[in-house]
Each structure stands twice: as structure tokens, then as C-alpha cells.
Structure 1
């Protein structure tokens, strides 16, 4: 067993390699119309066994060891555990920052359209995904013995229906769509889709463990948490804006009072811990906590302080953990390759078609509706969270994990270029995507690691870091 000094020394090296790999590939991916989070995702997959492990297996296994033998029995390597914990911390802080930047006032003006689009955008993918999942259980190599047909159907329904809210928030900011109807409705739909996916996942995990009590705990505990935060938590947190620091309290933080910062961090950590305990995952707890934070100068300062740390140090560890569990060699089997193509087709077509058509019926033009359908396919981070839960709970096999990881990367990769293609077409034809059809304005901020202000003019031009 490695010592604590050996574990920490190796972890520092791992994090440095992750950051260097991401930065090396970012210029290339930027030219392909991607946002930075895609570069972080790609770095995670490249450093895993499928690419780095194939090219230099001994170096990859030394740098990112997965197992360690203790008493003749394999256990998870302490460094893999450390990467997982660092990634989880980055994940909940990221979701808090996204929630704290959500524009509730804009959503209210488009609530009817967002509701209809969300409903159809989640139901159609769920139904088609459930059909594929039911069939895949019978194939015997994608789900474990714990799973029945209906449980497999629910799991794949969740996997196909999910839209990565944090990744979408990144894209919306990067494309200058923050205070537009397109950006707001896309984020609202993603929030609903993710909530439905987590409910389905909680049911699958609970029933796979023969414990319906777990499903009831997830539903009841999650509802109680949301009610408490919206009815009571918001009022208590509003007092942070009236905080008067003692003399010298904020000297070391550049004007940011230490007291409110500590309170905010404690709230986020407790929220993440509670929602993890009840079974709806820490990311939703952190997001709701951010949603309920009082807007103002204090929150802006906190975001400015946390943004670089989360973006460039903590969150990339989550992607490398996912990449280490992905084995692309499994896809070379003809049967698995065919299933991969089927899942990709169903996932992309159901989201793009359902969201695009219903958005058009709600008054959007074809180009704006097409852009919204493209954005809905950005599954990214939330899909990877769902996959990791399914794998750690013993619900899915390495084959299905790899299939869905590939689907995640491909659909997220095409989301931004396709959205910008529709946007560019609309711009050239004199159609722009504002709150009510007017040109997007450069106002407000939304957490986006490494973000800068969106350049005025052609909305297809995005900020670069």
C-alpha cells in the first residue's frame, strides 16, 4: 500500500498531466467550433486505456493505476479514489456556479413555451430509449444480472433523455445566448430533462437493490429539499447580502468577506451531502443551492474566486475518471458496433427531432428551432455522471458504459457546430435569436470556465480563452 506522501505526490503529477493534455488539444478543438469543456472531455478519454493505454500501456498504467493487490485481493487504487473525490468536489462546485447564474426572470416570460418543449423533449427520447433498452437486456451483454427488462428500459430511457445542463450552460454563454429566448428555453428544458432522468435512475438503482424504500426516499427527500430551499432557505440566505464584516475580515480575500464565503461553501457541501444521501445525487443539491442564492455583488465575487479553481483544477479530474473506465476496444466487436450505431441514431434523432419540432410549434422559426434541437443533444457531463452511477452500482457492463460514453462524446461534439450553423444561417438571412426575436445583447454573466465576454456583432463568433 503506497504511503500518504506517495499518493499525494502521484496525484499532483496526474493533475498536471490532465491540465497539460487539455491545453494542448484546446487550440485544435477551438478551430472545430468547440467549447473548452469538450477539450477537457477529450483529454479524459485520450489519457484512458483506449488511447494512451494502447499507445504506451506501461506508462499509462503507471500514471493512472486502477487497482492494487492487498492480501492477494484486488482493490481500487488509492490514487483512483483520490481522483474521484477531487472530481466530485469540482462537479458540485461547478453545478453550484451554474445554478447561481440561472436567469429566472427570463424563464418566467417564456414559461409556457419552455414547459411544452421540455415535456415533449423528454417524453419522446424516453419512449424510444426505453424500447432500445428493453431489447438490449435480452441480448445479455449490456446489463448485469441485477437488471430486468423494464429496469434496463428505464435506465436507457434516462440515458437518452438527459441533456447536460452544465455543458449547455457553458455553450449558451460561449455563444452569447445567455439573455435570449433560445438560451433560456434550452436551459429550462435541460433542467427538466435532468430532473426526470435522475428520478428514473433513482427508481432503477432502488429496485435493483430490492429496496423500493430507496425510491420513496429519493422522491420524498428530494421534494422536501426543494421545498425547504425555495420556501425557507432562500429567505435565510438573503441575509448574506446584509453581512457587515469585522475589521480586517476581508483583507486577505480582496474585498470578499470571509464569513459569507464560508456560509455559502457550507450550504453547498451540506446540500450535496443530503441529496447524495437520499439518492438523487449531489449535483442536483448543489444546483438548487446555487439557484436559491441571493443575486448581487457578493455572489459575483464568489463566482470570480471559484471559477478558475473549479474549471482548471477540480472538474478535469472528473473527466479523467470517466475516461479511465472507457474501453473503446470493446466497440470493435461487430455486434457491439451495431448497437452503438443504433444508440447514437436514437439518441440524436429523438432529441433533435422532438425538441426542434415542438419549438417550431411554439412560435420559433425553423432555424431557431433547429438550433434549440442541436443544443438539446449536448449530453456531456450529466450523462457521464449517470453512467458512473450505473457502473458503480453494478447495473451496466463495460460494453454499455463504453457505448454510452461514445454516444455522449459524439452528441456533445456535434451540438455546438450544428447550433452555430443554424445561427449563422439565421444571421445571414436577417433573423436573430433575441428574447423576442431581437439581436442578443452582451449582458449578464453565466459561469463558464475560462470564459470571456462575447464579442458583439456576428453571434457565431464566440469568446476564446
Structure 2
């Protein structure tokens, strides 16, 4: 067993390699019209066994060891545990920042459209994904023996229906769509999709363990948590916005008052702990905390200070952990390749078609509806969380894990270019996506290709933070 000093030293090296890898990838992906989080996702796969492990297996196994032998027993390597924990912390803090930036005022004006779009965006992918999952169980190599046909159907239904809320949030903010109807409704639909996916996953995990109590705990605990946070905790947290330090109070951290900052961090961590315990995952708990936080100077300061650290240091550890479990060599067999193609087609078409069509019937223009359908395919982070849970719970094999990881990467990679294709079409017709939908373009001159050009109605977006409000100039 390595010493604490060895674990720490190696961890610092791992983080440095992660940062260097995705920063080297970013210029390439920026030219491809991607947002930075896609480069971070791909960096995770490159540093895993599929690429680095194939090209230089000794270096990959030394740099990112996954197991260690102790007394003839193989256990998870302490450094892999450290990467996992840091990644989960980054994920929780990131989702809190996303929730605190959510535009509730825009959503309230489009609740009917968001509700109809969310329902369809969940139902159609679930039905098609469920049919594929039922079929895959019969093939005998994608699910473990303890999974029945209906359980496999529910798992794949959840995998196909999910929209990665954190990744979508990053895309929305990085693309300057934060203050638009398109961005707000896309995030609202993603939140509903993810909640439904976690309920399905809780049912599958609980029944696989012959314990329906887990499913009831997830549903009941989730509803109780949501009710408590929106009715009671919201009123308590509102006091933070009017908190005044005592005269001569020295407790300030870089301009932030320490007392309310400590309260915010405690609430985030306790919420993440509770929602993990009941089975609906810590990310949704942290997101709800962000939703009910008062919008004021305190939250603005927290976002400004936390965003760079969370988005570019802590969160990449999660993608590395996922990449270490993905083995692309498992899908080179013809039958597995065919299954990968089937899952890809069903996943993309069901989301893009269902969300795009129903958004169009709810009053969106065809360009805005098409852009929304494209954004719904950003499965990234939540899909990878779901896969990790399925793998650790002994529900799926490495073949299915890799198939769905490939589907996640491809659909997320496609989402931004397709969305921008619809946006360019609107731009050429003198329109932009704004708070009320497609609006007249307030900028007389077209923005040069490759520059951000969206959506804050009276200004062009010059820079956007990974988990906060776009900065305008």
C-alpha cells in the first residue's frame, strides 16, 4: 500500500496531466465549433486504457493505476479513489452554481411549453430505448445475469432519455444562451428528464437487489426534499441576502463574508449527502440548493470566485474517472458495432425528433425548435454518472458501458454544431434567439464566423464562464 505522501504526490501529478491534456486539446475543439467541456470529456478517454493504454500501456497503468494487490486481493487504488471523490465534489459544486444561475423569471413565462416539451422529450426516448434494452437483455452479453428483460428495458430507457444537465448548462453558458428562451427551456427540460431517469435507475437498482424499498425511498425522499427546500429552506436562505457583518468583523475571505459562505457550503454538502442517501444522486440535490438561493450580491461573489476552480480543476477529475472505465477495444467486434450503431441512431433520433417536433407545436419557430432538439442530445455528464452507477451496481457489462460511453460522446459532440447550424440560419435571416424566442437581430453587422454572437439582446457575448452568467461587452 503506498504511503500518504506517495498518494498525494502522485495525485498532484495526475491532476497536472489532466489539466495539460485538455488545454492542449481545446484549440482543436474550438476550431470544430465545440465548447471546452467536450475537450475535457475527450481528454478523459485519451488518458484511459482506450488510447494511452493502447499506445503506451506501461505509462498509462503507472500514471492512472486502477487497482492494487494487497494480500492476494485486488482493491481500488487509493489514487483512483481520490480522483473519484474530487470529481464528485466538483460535480456537486458545479450543479449548485448552475442552479444559482437558472433564469426562473424566463421559465415562468413559458411553463406550458416547457412542460409539454419535457414530457415528450422523456416519453419517446424511454419507449424506444426500452424496446432496445429489452432486446439487448436477450443477447446475453450486455447486461449481467441478475437483470431481467424489463429491468434492462428500464435501464436503457433511462440512458436514452437522459439529457446531461451539467453539460447542457455549460454549453448554454459558453454559447451565450443563458438569457434566452431556448437556453432556459432546454435546461428546464433537462432537469425533468434527469429526474425521471434517476427514478427509473433507482427502480432498476432496487429490484436487482430484491428491495423495492430503495425505489420508494428515492421517490418519497426526493419529493420530501424538494418540498422542504422550496417551502421552508428558501425562506431561511433568503436571510443570507440581507446578512450584515458585525462592526469590526474580520472574517472575510477575499471580500466574501465567512459566516454566510459557511452556511451556503454546509447546505450544499448536507443536501448532496441526503439526496445521495435516498438514491436520486447528489447532483440534483445541489442543483435545487442553487435554485432556492437568493439572487443577490452574495451569490454573485460566490459564482465569480468558485467558477474557475470548479469548472477547470475539480470537475475534470470526473471525466478522467469515467475514461478509465471505458475500453473502446470491446466494440470492434461486428455484432457489438452493430449494437452501437443501433443505440446511436435511436438515441439521437428519439431526442432530436421528439423535442424538436413538440417544441414546434408549442409555438417555437422551426429554427429555435431544431436548436432545442439538438441541445437535448447533450448527454455527457449525467449519462456517465448513470453508467458508473449501473456498472458498480453490477447491472451492465463493460461492453454495454463502452457502447453507451461512445453514444454519450458522439451525441454530445454533435449537439453544439447542430444547434449553431440552426442559429446561423436565424442570423442570416436577421434573427437571434432571445428571451421571447426568435427576435430581430439588434446588431446591424454580421458577426465574423467563429465569434460568439448570441443572445443577450442588446450586446454581443464576448466571454462566458463555465457555470455562470455570460459576460457582455
TM-score range, shorter chain: over 0.9
CA deviations 1:101-127 (Å, max 9, x no partner) are: 111110010111111111111100000
Pair 1:250–1:94, CA change in 2 (3 A): farther
Tell me, in whole angstroms, the C-alpha distance in 1 between the residues paired with 2:83 and 2:177.
33
Tell me, in whole angstroms, the C-alpha distance in 2 between the residues paired with 1:429 and 1:455.
23
Pair 1:250–1:425, CA change in 2 (3 A): farther
Tell me, in whole angstroms, the C-alpha distance in 1 between the residues paired with 2:428 and 2:74.
60
Given that residues 271 and 289 in structure 2 are in contact (C-alpha distance below 8 angstroms), is that contact kept between their aligned partners in structure 1?
yes
* Match status 1:449 vs 2:466: yes
Tell me, in whole angstroms, the C-alpha distance in 2 between the residues paired with 1:252 and 1:59.
44
2:261 aligns to what? Answer: 261
Secondary structure of the residue aligned to 2:434 is coil
2:299 aligns to what? Answer: 299
1:92 aligns to what? Answer: 92
2:130 aligns to what? Answer: 130
1:234 aligns to what? Answer: 234
1:463 aligns to what? Answer: none
2:19 aligns to what? Answer: 19
Pair 1:61–1:442, CA change in 2 (3 A): farther
| Unaligned residue ranges in structure 1 (runs of 5+) | 457-465
CA deviations 1:356-396 (Å, max 9, x no partner) are: 11111111111111111100000011101101111111111
Q: What's the offset of the Cα at 1:250?
A: 5.5
Q: What's the offset of the Cα at 1:454?
A: 5.9
Tell me, in whole angstroms, the C-alpha distance in 2 between the residues paired with 1:443 and 1:120.
33
2:446 aligns to what? Answer: none
CA deviations 1:121-179 (Å, max 9, x no partner) are: 11000000000000000111101112100000000000000001111111112222212
Secondary structure of the residue aligned to 2:377 is coil
Q: Which sits farther off after the overlay, 168-177 or 120-129?
A: 168-177
1:83 aligns to what? Answer: 83
Given that residues 387 and 401 in structure 1 are in contact (C-alpha distance below 8 angstroms), is that contact kept between their aligned partners in structure 2?
yes
1:60 aligns to what? Answer: 60
2:142 aligns to what? Answer: 142
Q: What's the offset of the Cα at 1:242?
A: 1.9
Q: How does 1:196-215 map to 2 (within 5 A)?
A: 196-215=196-215
2:419 aligns to what? Answer: 419
CA deviations 1:24-54 (Å, max 9, x no partner) are: 0000000100001001101000000000001
Secondary structure of the residue aligned to 2:75 is strand
CA deviations 1:264-321 (Å, max 9, x no partner) are: 0000000000000011111111111111111101001011111111112110000000
Given that residues 179 and 443 in structure 1 are in contact (C-alpha distance below 8 angstroms), is that contact kept between their aligned partners in structure 2?
no
Given that residues 45 and 324 in structure 1 are in contact (C-alpha distance below 8 angstroms), is that contact kept between their aligned partners in structure 2?
yes
Q: What's the offset of the Cα at 1:430?
A: 2.3
Tell me, in whole angstroms, the C-alpha distance in 1 between the residues paired with 2:145 and 2:24.
42
2:451 aligns to what? Answer: none
Given that residues 97 and 468 in structure 2 are in contact (C-alpha distance below 8 angstroms), is that contact kept between their aligned partners in structure 1?
no
1:459 aligns to what? Answer: none
Tell me, in whole angstroms, the C-alpha distance in 1 between the residues paired with 2:213 and 2:467.
42
Tell me, in whole angstroms, the C-alpha distance in 2 between the residues paired with 1:190 and 1:121.
9
Secondary structure of the residue aligned to 2:107 is helix
Q: Which sits farther off after the overlay, 220-229 or 423-432?
A: 423-432
Tell me, in whole angstroms, the C-alpha distance in 2 between the residues paired with 1:226 and 1:443.
36
Tell me, in whole angstroms, the C-alpha distance in 1 between the residues paired with 2:88 and 2:47.
19
Q: What's the offset of the Cα at 1:249?
A: 4.3
* Match status 1:395 vs 2:395: yes
Q: Which sits farther off after the overlay, 274-283 or 430-439?
A: 430-439
With the length of structure 2 as denominator, give the TM-score of the two structures.
0.94
Q: How does 1:188-199 map to 2 (within 5 A)?
A: 188-199=188-199
| Unaligned residue ranges in structure 2 (runs of 5+) | 442-454
Number of residue pairs aligned between Structure 1 and Structure 2: 456
1:181 aligns to what? Answer: 181
Tell me, in whole angstroms, the C-alpha distance in 1 between the residues paired with 2:144 and 2:153.
13
1:462 aligns to what? Answer: none
Pair 1:248–1:344, CA change in 2 (3 A): farther
Q: How does 1:350-389 map to 2 (within 5 A)?
A: 350-389=350-389
With the length of structure 1 as denominator, give the TM-score of the two structures.
0.95
Pair 1:68–1:236, CA change in 2 (3 A): same
Q: What's the offset of the Cα at 1:447?
A: 8.2
Q: How does 1:419-438 map to 2 (within 5 A)?
A: 419-436=419-436, 437-438=438-439
Given that residues 170 and 467 in structure 2 are in contact (C-alpha distance below 8 angstroms), is that contact kept between their aligned partners in structure 1?
no
2:102 aligns to what? Answer: 102
2:448 aligns to what? Answer: none
Tell me, in whole angstroms, the C-alpha distance in 2 between the residues paired with 1:14 and 1:147.
36
Tell me, in whole angstroms, the C-alpha distance in 1 between the residues paired with 2:250 and 2:325.
43
Given that residues 356 and 372 in structure 1 are in contact (C-alpha distance below 8 angstroms), is that contact kept between their aligned partners in structure 2?
yes
Secondary structure of the residue aligned to 1:69 is strand
Pair 1:80–1:243, CA change in 2 (3 A): same
Cα RMSD after superposing both structures: 1.7
Pair 1:442–1:451, CA change in 2 (3 A): farther
